[in-house]
Amino acid sequence: MPTPRLVRSRLSSRARTHAHASSNKHTPASVAVPNLAASAAVPTNTQNAPLGSPAIVAAGSAAAIAAAGLAVKRVLDTPAREYKEGAQVGKEYDAWHDEGILEYYWGEHIHLGYYSDEERAEGYKKKDFKQAKYDFIDEMFHWGTQPIDTSNVKTVLDVGCGIGGTSRYLAKKLLPNATVTGITISEKQVERATQLAKGQDVPNAKFELMDALNMEYPDNSFDMVWACESGEHMPDKTKYVNEMLRVLKPGGRLIIATWCQRDNLDALKASGASEEAMANAYENLVGFTDEEKSRLDFLYREWAHPYFISYEEYARVCERSGMATDITTDDWAQQTIPSWRHSVWAGVYDPWTVFSRPRAWYRTLRDIVTLERMHRAFSDGLLTYGMISCTKK
């Protein structure tokens, strides 16, 4: 079946104007533009000053700086990689692969890391950035598999596997007696994942190019389905969950980790809308302010996300499927939030990879801005880090 058509964001002009006119508290420090014209100490007695005088030059320079600063902010405030129906998400990941920057800094795992209470108290920068990602897999595995006997897990599906870091880790360390299959819609990721599995001698991990919303596997194919930070890119969250439950064997465990937005079911019900609208693009924003909608709109459209839902809604989708039992949820925003700024610091400590690729400078700047905006959205509760797990009936 074709991928469902995304309902595009069309915020009202009033909402966009409000968001752009609001204070800079939600704008990353790296691109926040203060009132440059007011702060540049422009001389006020320029009316009778001769052309070329210091006063005229200062006024002109200040105006130029202010205009340039506002122009830069406008560009960085405008999403550049909006989700489009079709293979666009795969192409974005192909482009990231070709640049090499994401793998260089993030390693084999294109997902956030895990930071314990003690590590956050001591300072997240003391922890190895890449090790935090391995710790996340360990914690997610322990959290999600508690209700089952993992010795019985022989087949695993990793949905949205990236370059296969988690698939290989599951196959080599956590489930060495199982066969792990990773799927992605990026051809370059399949090639790289397969190459790394061969180089690391992980024969029980394999990778396939496949759409998670239209999987080719028969019903009841896998003992465990793992989905780490793939739901963000899915244009139909209900079908995403239902497809994973379909290919999961009865008694098998589905484990999901995904970026989510704040739950607003009460506001939606008060508006008279159907509860099912919570799972639909842009129909689930009742109760969010215009500023919050504008912030969400940027975070959706900058990294090719169609939209987010709440982790509570993911649980409700599992319930409505009629296939799930023993549904468990949690919010790991606090455990993962250091990753956003830690990833920036990884580049600060080792900048040569970026500097040596001039063509990637602009994209890298945009990513830094988005990383900071993500950090702030998770910090103030606009976004949550959803953990959802259930057993198939």
Residue-wise pLDDT tens digits, 50-70:
655 666 666 666 777 777 667
Q: Are 302 and 80 in contact (CB under 8 A)?
A: yes
- If you average pLDDT over residues 318-335, what whole number do you get? 98
Residue 73, pLDDT score: 67
Q: Which CATH number covers residue 257?
A: 3.40.50.150
Residue 21, pLDDT score: 38
Q: Are 215 and 183 in contact (CB under 8 A)?
A: yes
Please give the tally of structural domains in the chain.
Answer: 1
- Nearest-10 crossing angle of helices 187-199, 88-99: 50
Residue 379, pLDDT score: 98
Residue 18, pLDDT score: 39
* 22, part of any domain: no
- State the pLDDT confidence band at 102, using cuts at 50, 70 and 90: confident
For 117, the domain range is 105-392
**In this predicted model, what pLDDT tens digit does every residue of 370-389 receive, in sequence order?**
999 999 999 999 999 999 99
- Residue 240, phi-psi category: left (phi > 0), alpha (psi -120 to 50), beta (remainder): alpha
Query: Is the model more confident about 44 or about 361?
Result: 361
Residue 362, pLDDT score: 81
- If you average pLDDT over residues 304-323, what whole number do you get? 96
Query: Is the model more confident about 284 or about 333?
Result: 333
Residue 57, pLDDT score: 62
- The 10 Å Cβ neighbour count of residue 24 is 12
**In this predicted model, what pLDDT tens digit does every residue of 157-185 receive, in sequence order?**
999 999 999 999 999 999 999 999 999 99
Residue 87, pLDDT score: 54
Least confident range from 40-44, 233-237, 348-352: namely: 40-44
Residue 88, pLDDT score: 56
Mean pLDDT of the residues in the chain: 84
Residue 364, pLDDT score: 82
* 274, part of any domain: yes
Residues of the chain with pLDDT > 70, as a percent, come to 77
Least confident range from 74-83, 156-165, 268-277: namely: 74-83
* 2, part of any domain: no
Report whether pLDDT(10) > 80. Answer: no
Residue 48, pLDDT score: 59
- Quote the CA–CA distance of 369 and 348 in Å, as a whole number: 14
**In this predicted model, what pLDDT tens digit does every residue of 201-257 receive, in sequence order?**
999 999 999 999 999 999 999 999 999 999 999 999 999 999 999 999 999 999 999
pTM (2 d.p.): 0.80
- State the pLDDT confidence band at 4, using cuts at 50, 70 and 90: very low
**DSSP β-bridge partners for residue 182:** 158, 207
Report whether pLDDT(363) > 60. Answer: yes
- Quote the CA–CA distance of 310 and 324 in Å, as a whole number: 18
* 150, part of any domain: yes
Report whether pLDDT(359) > 80. Answer: no
Residue 86, pLDDT score: 58
Q: Are 377 and 383 in contact (CB under 8 A)?
A: yes
- If you average pLDDT over residues 90-96, what whole number do you get? 68
How many CA atoms does the CB half-sphere of 347 hold within 13 Å? 19
- State the pLDDT confidence band at 2, using cuts at 50, 70 and 90: very low
Query: Is the model more confident about 18 or about 202?
Result: 202
Residue 121, pLDDT score: 98
Report whether pLDDT(307) > 90. Answer: yes
Report whether pLDDT(331) > 70. Answer: yes
Residues of the chain with pLDDT > 90, as a percent, come to 62
Residue 351, pLDDT score: 81
Main-chain dihedrals φ then ψ at residue 296, nearest 5 degrees: -60, -40
- If you average pLDDT over residues 354-364, what whole number do you get? 75
Residue 74, pLDDT score: 73
Report whether pLDDT(6) > 50. Answer: no
Residue 80, pLDDT score: 67
- Quote the CA–CA distance of 32 and 26 in Å, as a whole number: 9
- If you average pLDDT over residues 148-152, what whole number do you get? 96
* 42, part of any domain: no
* 204, part of any domain: yes
* 109, part of any domain: yes
* 53, part of any domain: no
